[in-house]
């Protein structure tokens, strides 16, 4: 056993347990002194230093005879905590160098990648001057859990960058959270971000807590961006911009309406319902998003519409905590980009459907008046111990009944006259999508469990809340399985039946499957019928997953969206758990199967520009028939036709005017309103 805490001991590679072992050590085997023997560098879980153990034994029998407890001697490693050493050729001179980083979550998170260049040889290293921020010094790094947002804070026509997050490690389990302002000192087509404020609004001084997550928008009608900050405790805090357009000054106004969405509040402001004001979406640790509508004036401007809006759930089997972080992309149908712990950034569309006012739909398949009289005709065939039924609803039936893409929250069965019968051991319900309604066997793949429990049902409709909502994709058929086991055989529970145009009901073969040890949910297929129970679903329309992005960018992703290069396409700055940022440029989608024929670029002129409010445009190509006006944050404000004038008012500021042809080619110009 070799223990970096207890000192130097003989290496014994055996399977016996040593009483001196502890939580962990990191080991790097290399030749430190130019002899023919391999030495060891040891990092310990509770310490900041490296220990060098020198081998004085033999090639086939190591024996450590000396140690340096502060290694390297000239510049000892001091990283909190659990340093791990790596021997790699970093500068490509064919001689490996020494790199040391912490090997423990909740440890030093800035200047934590130490590089010792090797000026010696592979087997006799000589360490040069240390670089204590190797690679990290070339990045924007705020510590841990970077949470960026984009805003034109100085009103100069380009987007600046504000980054919050968990912040800088100061001691075990202690972080100093602040917000960093990186002013865009480049242009609106070529951004350059320069750090100009290491504690924006003195948020660190105000002790809001950890994991600060900022968002900006004009909340008091004075045309400058105010700020809302989410925190690790789930609270939101409001800062009023009491400065002017070119010189911001943020005044702390305290907690925003005592809003608390649970841990790790991640707010974003945007016009969700299309009424021209800024609503509030707030992500959280459990992966849902709360929707607050702007309905009044500060300090009580927001009204909670839904604490788990649109059925959004960013959890996964790998990450039961979802850490949702929404960002808004404006367009013909407003889109959400939602960061998460492990799902990347998920793009969700169909926001227009969600905001049309429909919060829940009853999808009913009833009308049948016949009552079941056999075990095979009811999914609750309690005259036997075990049972299994699969029921199919075609996509056309679902659509005709009003179904759209969304989550099935409840399932209902209409029972015939039932006095007191129930399945004594309860029953399970599973659902899945299927592409065929003509199967002559049970479906066994991809069944999702949505309910398990004992339910006493009575005559008439019985609605069962699902333990786990099932998302119907709006395009496939739906299969529902009901199964039970080890029932007391009290009798069949009757259901009302309707007749369908296809064999929509499949029942199990009880032959040889009624034993007390049999599993009803594994019962073999017995037959099918065109009679199906009267059933209904409560469906909650939700946003459709359009795409998934940035899966390789790390954990706990937090997107910020804006047009950083004035090309008319949204760009993304993405924060991650490591405290770093990624920059992704938005591009037009191109079909590579279509031959591209170069064309002359479209030129458009806006006049007058600057303007007091009224303007029009002309283009060199008459196929440009409309111009869309966007804020710098990417929000669509309106459109004007060629030859026409704008019919809507614009506040003083800078805007993007996007001219688009039928083939998707775009021209973007800036508009200044004075």
- Which candidate, 93, 87, 77, 8, places its Cα nearest to that of 43? 77
- What is the C-alpha separation between 153 and 201, in angstroms, rounded? 12
Q: Is residue 357 very low, low, confident or very high in pLDDT (cuts 50, 70, 90)?
A: low
Across all residues in the chain, what is the average pLDDT? 88
The 10s digit of each residue's pLDDT in 304-313 is 998 988 889 9
Q: Are 510 and 384 in contact (CB under 8 A)?
A: yes
- Which candidate, 563, 491, 564, 503, places its Cα nearest to that of 531? 503
Q: Are 231 and 261 in contact (CB under 8 A)?
A: no
- What is the C-alpha separation between 219 and 478, in angstroms, rounded? 45
- What is the C-alpha separation between 636 and 634, in angstroms, rounded? 6
- Which candidate, 133, 129, 131, 130, places its Cα nearest to that of 110? 133
- What is the C-alpha separation between 661 and 604, in angstroms, rounded? 12
Q: Tell me the three state secondary structure of residue 199.
A: coil
- SS (HEC) of 82-146: CEEEEEECCCCCCCCEEEEEECCCCCCCCCCEEEECECCCCCCCCECCCECECCHHHCCCCCECC
- What is the C-alpha separation between 22 and 312, in angstroms, rounded? 43
Q: With 80 as the cut, is the pLDDT of residue 664 above it? A: no
The 10s digit of each residue's pLDDT in 396-437 is 999 999 998 889 999 999 999 988 889 989 999 999 999 999
- Structure-block tokens of residue 283: 């992500």
The 10s digit of each residue's pLDDT in 226-236 is 999 999 999 99
- What is the C-alpha separation between 550 and 343, in angstroms, rounded? 9
- Could you give phi then psi for residue 627, rounded to 5 degrees? -120, 135
- Which candidate, 306, 301, 298, places its Cα nearest to that of 282? 306
The 10s digit of each residue's pLDDT in 185-212 is 998 889 999 999 999 999 887 888 899 9
Percent of the chain beyond pLDDT 70?
A: 92
Q: With 80 as the cut, is the pLDDT of residue 10 above it? A: no
- What is the C-alpha separation between 258 and 280, in angstroms, rounded? 14
Q: Is residue 594 very low, low, confident or very high in pLDDT (cuts 50, 70, 90)?
A: very low
- Structure-block tokens of residue 553: 């960018």
Q: In 413-472, where does DSSP find H-type helix?
A: none
């Amino acid at each position: 056993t070799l223990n970096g805490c207890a000192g130097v001991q003989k290496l014994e590679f055996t399977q016996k347990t040593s009483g001196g072992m502890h939580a962990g050590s990191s080991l790097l085997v290399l030749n430190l002194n130019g002899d023919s023997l391999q030495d060891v560098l040891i990092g310990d879980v509770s310490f900041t230093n490296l220990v060098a153990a020198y081998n004085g034994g033999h090639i086939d029998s190591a024996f450590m005879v000396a140690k340096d407890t502060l290694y390297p001697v000239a510049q000892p490693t001091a990283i909190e905590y659990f340093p791990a050493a790596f021997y790699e050729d970093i500068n490509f001179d064919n001689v490996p160098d020494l790199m040391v980083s912490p090997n423990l979550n909740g440890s030093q998170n800035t200047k934590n990648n130490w590089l010792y260049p090797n000026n010696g040889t592979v087997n006799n290293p000589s360490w040069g001057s240390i670089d204590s921020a190797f690679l990290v010094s070339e990045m924007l790094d705020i510590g841990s859990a970077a949470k960026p947002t984009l805003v034109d804070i100085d009103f100069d026509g380009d987007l600046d960058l504000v980054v919050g997050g968990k912040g800088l490690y100061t001691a075990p389990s202690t972080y100093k959270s602040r917000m960093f302002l990186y002013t865009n000192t480049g242009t609106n087509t070529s951004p350059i971000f320069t750090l100009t404020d290491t504690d924006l609004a003195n948020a660190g001084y105000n002790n809001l807590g950890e994991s600060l997550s900022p968002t900006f928008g004009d909340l008091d009608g004075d045309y400058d961006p105010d700020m809302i900050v989410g925190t690790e405790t789930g609270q939101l805090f409001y800062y009023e911009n009491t400065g002017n357009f070119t010189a911001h000054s943020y005044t702390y106004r305290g907690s925003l309406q005592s809003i608390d969405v649970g841990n790790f509040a991640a707010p974003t402001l945007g016009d969700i319902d299309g009424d021209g004001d800024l609503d509030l979406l707030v992500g959280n640790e459990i992966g849902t998003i709360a929707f607050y509508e702007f309905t009044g004036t500060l300090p009580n401007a927001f009204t909670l519409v839904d604490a788990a809006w649109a059925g959004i759930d960013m959890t996964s089997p790998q990450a039961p905590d979802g850490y949702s972080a929404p960002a808004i992309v404006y367009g013909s149908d407003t889109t959400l980009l939602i960061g998460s712990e492990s799902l990347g950034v998920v793009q969700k569309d169909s926001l227009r459907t969600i905001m049309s006012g429909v919060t829940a739909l009853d999808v009913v398949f009833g009308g049948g008046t016949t009552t079941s009289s056999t075990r095979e005709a009811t999914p609750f065939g309690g005259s036997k111990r075990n049972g299994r039924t699969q029921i199919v609803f075609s996509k056309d039936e679902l659509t005709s009944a009003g179904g759209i893409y969304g989550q099935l929250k409840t399932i209902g069965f209409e029972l015939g006259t039932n006095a007191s019968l129930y399945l004594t051991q309860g029953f399970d319900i599973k659902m899945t999508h299927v592409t065929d309604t003509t199967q002559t066997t049970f479906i066994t793949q991809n069944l999702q469990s949505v309910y398990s429990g004992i339910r006493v049902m009575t005559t008439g409709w019985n609605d069962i809340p699902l333990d786990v909502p099932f998302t119907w994709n709006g395009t496939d058929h739906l299969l529902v399985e009901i199964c039970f086991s080890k029932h007391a055989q009290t009798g069949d529970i009757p259901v009302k039946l309707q007749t369908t145009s296809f064999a929509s009901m499949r029942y199990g073969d009880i032959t040889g499957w009624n034993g007390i040890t049999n599993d009803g949910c594994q019962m073999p297929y017995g037959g099918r019928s065109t009679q199906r129970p009267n059933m209904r679903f409560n469906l909650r329309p939700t946003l459709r997953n359009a795409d998934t992005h940035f899966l390789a960018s790390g954990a706990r992703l937090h997107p910020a969206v804006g047009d950083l290069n004035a090309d008319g396409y949204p760009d993304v700055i993405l924060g991650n758990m490591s405290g770093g940022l990624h920059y992704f440029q938005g591009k037009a989608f191109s079909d590579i199967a279509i031959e591209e024929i170069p064309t002359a670029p479209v030129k458009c002129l806006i006049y007058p520009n600057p303007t007091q409010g009224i303007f029009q445009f002309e283009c060199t190509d008459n196929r440009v028939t409309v111009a869309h006006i966007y804020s710098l944050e990417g929000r669509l404000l309106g459109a004007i036709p060629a030859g026409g004038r704008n019919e809507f008012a614009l506040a003083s500021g800078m805007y993007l005017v996007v001219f688009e042809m039928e083939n998707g080619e775009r021209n973007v110009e800036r508009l200044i309103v004075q």
